[in-house]
Amino acid sequence: MTHNRRLLIIDDEENMRHMLSVVTSNAGYQVTIAENGEQALATQKKSPFDFILCDLKMPKMDGLHFLKALGTDPPRPIIIMMSAYASIDDAVEAMKAGAYDFITKPFKNAEILLVLEKARDHLALHEENVRLKARVKELQGVSCFEEIIAHSKEMESLLQLTEKVAKYDTTVLINGESGTGKELIAKGIHQNSTRKDKDFIAINCGSIPENLLESEFFGYVKGAFTGADRDRKGLFEEADSGTLFLDEIGELPLSLQVKLLRVLQENEIRPVGSVKTKKINVRVITATAKDLEQEVKAGRFREDLFYRLNVLTLKLPPLRERKDDIPYLCTHFLSRLNQKMGLKIKEVSPEAMTQLLSQEWKGNIRELKNSLERAAILADTDVILAKDLSDPRDPRTATQQIKDILGTYSLKKAKKIIEEKMITQALEASNGNKSMAARMLEISYPSLLAKIKEYLEEEADTSEL
């Protein structure tokens, strides 16, 4: 909206000030005028403007000196420089000093309005980015779930439930697709519990060979097996008084499921090779991307263990079902990337954001984070554009583009579609002259007639169906 946007016009020529004032006022801007940089500086200090149109060559204080005197303290207006005598060096110096754009006089009314429209879009994007950053900080201030960005109703409801669950020392099962942030939720539960000052230990049950799982979980005593030259604590003992997070619990072999059930019921472990048990006080949080009920029916997961773990279930929605969170996640991840990699990415362009919102995100938040990291590295400016998001190394990108254009993967069908399109375009370009169209297509006149007849007959057959 331009109606509430304040514009300052600085030019020493009265006719230029009048013309720009009329054109921009009619476009909905609230216009103020100044004859030189000194006058404009005083006016800007009294009441800041959204946009400034500033001439380069002026008496008393020219445009470049005005730019430098204006400083960089926020709120800084978007400044567009104008000049009839500008050189490339002048334009470069103005841009270095903080000008958003540079336009050469004389210009048409439509040109100046177009430049202002681009500046308005830029300002709107900046304001949205500021709002998102403020909201991200607000979201990070909720309880101890600083790492979890949740603006959508689905996630806000889940976090409210998680915050309640954290206060009670009960077993929690977190269910969700890969990359949805199950470990972050587990950490949040730990940090929001009475165990927050103790250890939080996470282990992926699918990442450890089956023959090592028991000793990893429960530890071992010296001499228990070849190479056991000393006693060693297991994960349960390491997490004593704290929280143990067992990720991908559905990958746990049946032989160990029995022993885990006993630990949860008796609160005691027996290290490998020992005849004695040890009492432990551990809160266990588990997570899985599998449907454990289906695993139970298939005989791959013990029913009694499932019910012991399933005291309270938190289901994390996939990113495609919480797309309201994507702009906030982008702001959060870009801030982290800037700190981690020394980048200066300010925001995601509207076109790029539209692209992000339209994706399915099978890899969920992890995939979004990786895409943004790749785009931030490839970006040529401080704004991520739509072109920065595509991965030229991914063969699926090109394949999907071809599929989208032609509507098929079939080479036979694709050849016909391309031929028909080329013939149609050649006939349009030649105003229906078939001889000329045949020469343009580099085929014989009879071949062109045969193809036209073939495609017309196919269309007729299709229309009768």
Neighbours of 426 (CB within 10 A): 19
Domain range annotation of the chain: 6-133, 153-317, 320-391, 408-464
CATH of 6-133, one of 3.40.50.11540, 3.50.50.60, 3.40.50.2300, 3.40.50.720: 3.40.50.2300
Whole-angstrom distance, CA of residue 375 vs CA of residue 363 = 17
Side-chain-side CA neighbours of 236 within 13 Å: the count stands at 25
What stretches in the chain show pLDDT beneath 70?
A: 1-4, 72-75, 86-88, 91, 129-130, 132-147, 390-409, 431, 455-465
The predicted pLDDT at position 134 comes to 63
The predicted pLDDT at position 132 comes to 63
Q: What is the Cα 349 distance to its own chain's centre?
A: 11
Please, are residues 45 and 77 in contact by the beta-carbon 8 Å criterion?
no
The answer to pTM > 0.75 is no
Using DSSP's 3-state secondary structure scheme, residue 268 falls into: strand
Please, are residues 315 and 173 in contact by the beta-carbon 8 Å criterion?
no
The predicted pLDDT at position 28 comes to 87
Q: 320-391, which class in CATH?
A: mainly alpha
Q: 153-317, which class in CATH?
A: alpha beta
Domain 408-464 has CATH 1.10.10: yes
The predicted pLDDT at position 298 comes to 94
Say yes or no: do domains 153-317 and 320-391 share a fold. Answer: no
Laid out side by side, the sheet with 243-247 consists of: 200-204, 243-247, 283-288, 172-175, 312-315
- Span 214-245, pLDDT tens digits: 899 999 998 888 888 899 999 999 999 999 99
Whole-angstrom distance, CA of residue 417 vs CA of residue 62 = 61
